[in-house]
């Protein structure tokens, strides 16, 4: 083989050779704190029944190692890098005791959490965050990526700046927001909901308890609410220049005397839950679920 | 007329659109109820502030001087803008809590922060009585602090991230402009006032998050 070809093949093989595979184990308390930091790549965390933490995956080029340290009640998992960690893309597949309390930091990393029943706090800049399974308390924040929560319960906080936020089949208290991504709540039963966007569209399709509150606010996005005909709630809608359409109660909103503002307030099913929606220029539509 | 009944008519009373009979009843109640008189006084204050809002709010020269000073200080020492960031967080918390309490009939009493370049432990406690216009300036000041911090961290962020952040800030700025314009047409509108504050808060929250995450590198 010619020397140039050998050099070329060596060059091609170098990145793969530089990636190291990891397989580390450590005992952990069933409800201990686990801090995870991987600036670029992916972080996948799965809750299991063992009192043990297992980290598998591949460390990126220029990663100097994996720091797995701490005691059983507080474990730290960190990809260590030399220089700017942006270019060091590592993929971690981590198993933790299901009741763990997770704190996950990424930057250019996607984050996936499944089956963790403790608390979950996760944030990233460029990348999505996906969580499924029951948790007590969840706080997910992305800048440029989608945030998706499924089948969770408890207090849920989900925010993205530029990505969509989707909450499916969950329950409890929800606080969710985006700037210009779509925000959707599909299914689930809620006691307290606060959702807001700047220009992203809002959609809520779920059930509310008798004393539940739902507050939705957007500047220029549209708001669509879907409720079963059995809903018992007091509705209050206000849009400065958008339209209001209502499939459940009165059809004609009251127009403000001096401005284009429209307001609509009414009780349905004897009242109960409080539903307040405000927009500046976005439309509001209340649908009856089939 | 009860306090609740007056509460429901306060806006119309302030803009002079009550019937003569209702107007007299509200007047009678106000003459005997100090709490409602105080609410009515605050409403008029906020209406005056809303009317005085500029269409395009830009920080005053004094504020810019302060921002420039802080940017310069930030260049001299890495820790300084962190303190500003933390103090800005204190500011946002203080202003948000007071302005966004939905049970308040009109968000008139907001808290203002102390100087933002002193250590967090020495940030002055919020003072009461800040009005909407002043609150907007405080939010602008917090946003400028964070923008300066972000400027310091530009090299840590990918061009794509920066572009996304900037386009989203533009979305929020556009929203602020639209809400201010609407408030200009309907001064004192509670929902619009709340929305204006909410958009300011969103801008500061967005900046705070990006700066905080970028400093974790």
Rounded to whole angstroms, the Cα distance separating A139 from A120 reads 6
Domain boundary among A93, A122, A151: A122
User: By residue range, what is the domain housing residue A46?
Assistant: 19-122
DSSP 3-state of A201: coil
For chain B, say whether A83 makes contact (Cβ under 8 Å): no
A177 interaction partners in chain B (CB closer than 8 Å): 202
- Asked if A99 and A205 sit in the same domain, the reply is no
Domain boundary among A122, A151, A173: A122
The answer to whether A196 contacts B198, with C-beta atoms less than 8 Å apart, is yes
DSSP 3-state of A28: coil
The answer to whether B206 contacts A108, with C-beta atoms less than 8 Å apart, is no
Q: A111-115, B31-35, B79-83: which range is least confident on average?
A: B79-83
A196 interaction partners in chain B (CB closer than 8 Å): 198, 202
* A170, A193 Cβ separation under 8 angstroms: no
The answer to whether B185 contacts A126, with C-beta atoms less than 8 Å apart, is no
Q: What average pLDDT does the structure give for chain B?
A: 64
B121: pLDDT strictly greater than 70: no
Chain A: closest CA distance from residue B62 (Å): 30
Residue B198 has a pLDDT of 87
* A55, A77 Cβ separation under 8 angstroms: yes
Residue A181 has a pLDDT of 92
More confident residue, B64 or A85: A85
Chain A: closest CA distance from residue B65 (Å): 30
For chain A, say whether B202 makes contact (Cβ under 8 Å): yes
Rounded to whole angstroms, the Cα distance separating B19 from B106 reads 22
Domain count, chain A: 2
B5: pLDDT strictly greater than 70: yes
- Asked if A118 and A172 sit in the same domain, the reply is no
Residue A17 has a pLDDT of 42
Residue B13 has a pLDDT of 72
- Asked if A115 and A176 sit in the same domain, the reply is no
Rounded to whole angstroms, the Cα distance separating B98 from B132 reads 11
Mutation for B interface: A40, A179, A180, A244, most B CBs within 10 A: A179
B62: pLDDT strictly greater than 70: no
- Asked if A114 and A170 sit in the same domain, the reply is no
Cβ burial of B84 (10 Å; 0-12, 13-18, 19+) is buried
B93: pLDDT strictly greater than 50: no
* B175, A199 Cβ separation under 8 angstroms: yes
Residue A146 lies in a domain: no
Residue A113 lies in a domain: yes
For chain A, say whether B103 makes contact (Cβ under 8 Å): no
| Minimal-distance CA residue of chain B relative to A258 | B186
Residue B164 has a pLDDT of 85
Chain B: closest CA distance from residue A109 (Å): 12
B66: pLDDT strictly greater than 50: no
Residue A138 lies in a domain: no
- Asked if A189 and A98 sit in the same domain, the reply is no
For chain B, say whether A181 makes contact (Cβ under 8 Å): no
The answer to whether A198 contacts B172, with C-beta atoms less than 8 Å apart, is yes
Per-residue pLDDT tens digits for A121-134: 999 988 999 999 87
- Asked if A107 and A176 sit in the same domain, the reply is no
- Asked if A171 and A89 sit in the same domain, the reply is no
Residue B113 has a pLDDT of 32
- Asked if A207 and A277 sit in the same domain, the reply is yes
Residue A152 lies in a domain: no
Residue A211 lies in a domain: yes
Per-residue pLDDT tens digits for B181-215: 988 888 888 888 888 988 898 899 888 888 877 77
Q: Which of A84, A126, A261 is the closest to B160 by Cβ?
A: A126
Predicted TM-score (pTM) of this structure = 0.71
Chain B: closest CA distance from residue A9 (Å): 31
A144 interaction partners in chain B (CB closer than 8 Å): 160-161, 164-165
- Angle, helix B78-100 to helix B132-152, in steps of 10 degrees: 150
- Asked if A107 and A206 sit in the same domain, the reply is no
Local confidence band at B17 (pLDDT 50, 70, 90 cut-offs): low
A127 interaction partners in chain B (CB closer than 8 Å): none
Token pair belonging to B171: 């979305």
B210 interaction partners in chain A (CB closer than 8 Å): 125, 143, 161
Which of A214, A241, A201, A197 lies closest to B189, judged by CA? Answer: A241
Could you say which residues of chain A have pLDDT below 70? 1-18, 85-86, 251-260
What percent of chain B lies above the pLDDT cut of 70? 51
Question: With a CB-CB cutoff of 8 Å, which residues 112-151 of chain A face chain B?
Answer: 123-126, 141, 143-144
For chain A, say whether B209 makes contact (Cβ under 8 Å): yes
Residue A131 lies in a domain: no
- Asked if A52 and A169 sit in the same domain, the reply is no
Token pair belonging to B175: 């929203």
Residue B195 has a pLDDT of 87
Residue B159 has a pLDDT of 83
The answer to whether B198 contacts A220, with C-beta atoms less than 8 Å apart, is no
Local confidence band at B67 (pLDDT 50, 70, 90 cut-offs): very low
């Amino acid at each position: 083989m010619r020397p140039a070809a050998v050099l070329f093949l060596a060059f091609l093989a170098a990145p793969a050779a530089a990636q190291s595979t990891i397989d580390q184990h450590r005992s952990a308390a069933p409800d201990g704190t686990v801090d995870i930091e991987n600036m670029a790549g992916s972080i996948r965390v799965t809750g299991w029944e063992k009192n043990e933490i297992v980290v598998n995956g591949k460390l990126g080029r220029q990663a100097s190692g994996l720091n797995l340290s701490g005691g059983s009640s507080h474990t730290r998992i960190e990809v260590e890098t030399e220089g700017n960690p942006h270019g060091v893309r590592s993929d971690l597949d981590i198993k933790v005791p299901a009741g763990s309390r997770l704190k996950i930091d990424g930057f250019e990393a996607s984050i996936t959490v499944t089956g963790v029943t403790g608390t979950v706090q996760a944030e990233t800049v460029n990348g999505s965050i996906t969580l499924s399974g029951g948790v007590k308390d969840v706080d997910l924040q992305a800048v440029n990526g989608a945030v998706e929560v499924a089948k969770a319960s408890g207090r849920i906080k989900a925010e993205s700046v530029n990505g969509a936020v989707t909450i499916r089949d969950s329950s409890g208290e929800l606080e969710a927001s985006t700037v210009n991504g779509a925000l959707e709540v599909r299914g689930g039963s809620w006691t307290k909901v606060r959702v807001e966007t700047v220009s992203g569209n809002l959609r809520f399709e779920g059930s509310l308890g008798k004393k539940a509150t739902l507050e939705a606010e957007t500047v220029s996005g549209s708001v669509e609410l879907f409720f079963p005909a059995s809903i018992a709630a007091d509705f209050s809608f206000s849009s400065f220049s958008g339209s209001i359409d209502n499939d459940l109660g009165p059809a004609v909103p009251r127009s403000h005397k001096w401005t284009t503002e429209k307001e609509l307030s009414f009780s349905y099913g004897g009242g109960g839950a409080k539903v307040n929606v405000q927009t500046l220029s976005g439309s509001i539509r209340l649908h009856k679920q089939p | 007329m009860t306090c609740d009944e007056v509460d429901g008519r306060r806006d119309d009373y302030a803009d002079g659109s009550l019937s003569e009979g209702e107007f007299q009843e509200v007047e009678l109640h106000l003459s005997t109820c100090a709490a409602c008189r105080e609410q009515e006084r605050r409403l008029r204050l906020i209406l005056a502030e809303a009317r005085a809002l500029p269409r395009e709010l830009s920080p005053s020269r004094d504020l810019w001087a302060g921002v420039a000073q802080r940017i310069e200080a930030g260049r001299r020492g890495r820790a300084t803008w962190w303190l500003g960031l933390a103090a800005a967080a204190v500011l946002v918390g203080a202003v948000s809590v007071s302005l966004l309490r939905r049970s308040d009939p009109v968000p008139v009493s907001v808290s203002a922060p102390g100087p933002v370049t002193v250590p967090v432990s020495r940030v002055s406690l919020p003072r009461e009585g800040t009005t909407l216009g002043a609150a907007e300036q405080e939010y602008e000041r917090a946003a400028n602090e964070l923008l300066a911090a972000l400027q310091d961290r530009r090299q840590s962020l990918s061009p794509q991230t920066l572009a996304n952040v900037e386009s989203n800030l533009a979305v929020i700025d556009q929203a602020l402009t639209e809400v201010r314009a609407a408030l200009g047409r309907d001064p004192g509108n509670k929902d619009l006032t709340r929305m204006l504050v909410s958009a300011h808060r969103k801008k500061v929250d967005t900046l705070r998050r990006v700066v905080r995450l970028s400093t974790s590198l």
